[in-house]
């Protein structure tokens, strides 16, 4: 194996390790309610979501590979199905990362900002992905299947599963104070 081949594999691994937590944090910022719901679902046990996700994950991968054989339009549909599968699963994995971030020691300090919980849990999860063979195959694809299971369950339950949105009033900036020279010009004499 040439040095260029080794370097290519290393760069692919580094890009995956950087991209996945970025997708999770992006998901927690863009879809905060879904990621919170996914984290609440992940609290109910991980084997359950592995079982929920295996059938839809395998069916969507099979559909994507079957569409790939269809030529130009089929390849475009295949890419769309596979992209939807990966991004949807990663919203569920962001919930799993949030759950891990919550359960880590000192997780209460990051409770005010949800993406920090996702970052903490995501670092743990990507560290587990770096384990040779077990992390590369079992944990990586297992977490994607769990994420698919969490999202499938959330899609099937629909709106009945939603928690009421937390209402926060927007921060009102303080009034602009005028300096001593401005107050003298404004006050009548």
Give the single-character DSSP code of 169.
P
The number of CA neighbours under 13 Å toward the Cβ of 138 is 6
Who contacts 86 (Cβ-Cβ below 8 Å, separation ≥6)?
Answer: 144
- Give the per-residue pLDDT at 85: 93
> pLDDT at position 178, please?
64
List alpha helices for the chain, DSSP H. Answer: 3-30, 32-42, 46-68, 72-103, 114-129, 140-157, 180-186
CA pseudo-torsion sign 131, 134, 137, 141: negative
Predicted model pTM: 0.76
Q: Mean pLDDT per 10-residue run, the chain (189 residues)? A: 88 91 93 92 88 93 90 88 93 93 74 82 92 89 94 82 48 60 53
pLDDT of 175 reads: 61
pLDDT at position 25: 93
pLDDT of residue 186: 53
Specify the pLDDT at position 167: 45
Closest Cα to residue 153, out of 92, 82, 93? 92
Q: Are 102 and 39 in contact (CB under 8 A)?
A: yes
Q: Show Cβ contacts of residue 74 under 8 Å, excluding neighbours closer than 6 positions.
A: 67, 68
Q: What is the pLDDT of residue 171?
A: 56
């Amino acid at each position: 194996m040439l040095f260029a081949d080794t370097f290519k594999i290393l760069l692919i691994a580094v890009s995956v390790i950087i991209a996945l937590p970025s997708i999770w944090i992006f998901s927690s910022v863009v879809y905060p309610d879904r990621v919170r719901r996914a984290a609440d679902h992940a609290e109910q046990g991980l084997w359950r979501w592995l079982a929920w996700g295996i059938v839809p994950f395998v069916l969507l991968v099979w559909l994507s590979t079957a569409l790939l054989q269809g030529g130009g339009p089929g390849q475009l549909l295949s890419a769309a199905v596979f992209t939807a599968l990966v991004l949807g699963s990663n919203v569920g994995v962001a919930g799993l990362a949030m759950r891990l971030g919550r359960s880590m020691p000192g997780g209460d300090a990051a409770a005010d900002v949800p993406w920090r919980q996702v970052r903490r849990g995501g670092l743990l999860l990507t560290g587990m992905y770096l384990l040779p063979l077990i992390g590369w195959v079992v944990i990586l694809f297992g977490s994607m299947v769990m994420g698919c299971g969490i999202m499938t369950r959330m899609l099937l339950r629909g709106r009945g599963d939603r928690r009421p949105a937390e209402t926060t009033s927007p921060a009102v900036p303080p009034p602009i104070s005028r300096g001593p020279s401005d107050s003298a010009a404004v006050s009548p004499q």
